[in-house]
Amino acid sequence: MTKPPPDTELIARNKRARHDYEILDTLEAGLVLRGTEVKSLRNGKANLSDAYGIVKDGEIWLINLHIAPYEKGTAWNHEPTRTRKLLLHSAEIRRLIGAVERKGLTIIPLEMRFRKGRAKVVIALGRGKKLHDKRADLKERDAKRDVERALRSNR
């Protein structure tokens, strides 16, 4: 995984995404938010675990992203799991639409962060893993951990 730029602040990370999906490509996208959503994100109240992206009317939308209601909000507080629009360049949108419709890939949010004061979502194009692929990855990770442990103890 690549390191984020130094001017970023992590809000939330989708830990299950790399386990459930084979990640093929990543992009950073802006997000259309309301005021109370931004305040809630500043408190770190976001959950990406059930979120996914869809294509609707030539735009990319994020479904099931849960941003908790702001505690000090009024009656005009936001709905926690409303559909939110992603802000991308038109070439990026066309590429995502082609991958989703032709190749059958899925748009998955990997993490949310503030970059230069703006809320951003790192999204990925992914293909769902089968159960045997997940098991193979776990075996590989365990083997790598054992090798590292053995090398550390020999020093």
Cα–Cα distances in angstroms (integers) from residue 117 to residues 29, 83, 120, 138, 142, in the given order: 14, 22, 9, 37, 38
Cα–Cα distances in angstroms (integers) from residue 67 to residues 11, 40, 64, 124, in the given order: 11, 7, 9, 20
Residue 88: CATH number of its domain = 2.40.280.10
Task: Please give the model's pTM, rounded to 2 decimal places.
Answer: 0.79
Whether residue 116 lies inside any domain: the answer is yes
| Phi, psi of 28, rounded to the nearest 5 degrees | -105, 130
Domain of residue 42: give its range.
8-129
H helix intervals, 72-123: 90-103
Whether residue 81 lies inside any domain: the answer is yes
- Torsion, Cα of 96, 97, 102, 106 (10° steps): 60
Question: pLDDT by residue for the chain (155 residues), tens digit each?
Answer: 566 667 888 898 998 888 888 889 899 999 998 888 888 888 888 899 889 999 999 899 999 999 888 887 777 778 888 899 999 999 999 998 888 888 878 899 999 999 988 999 999 998 888 888 888 888 988 999 999 998 888 77
Dump pLDDT digits (tens) for 6-42.
788 889 899 888 888 888 989 999 999 888 888 888 8
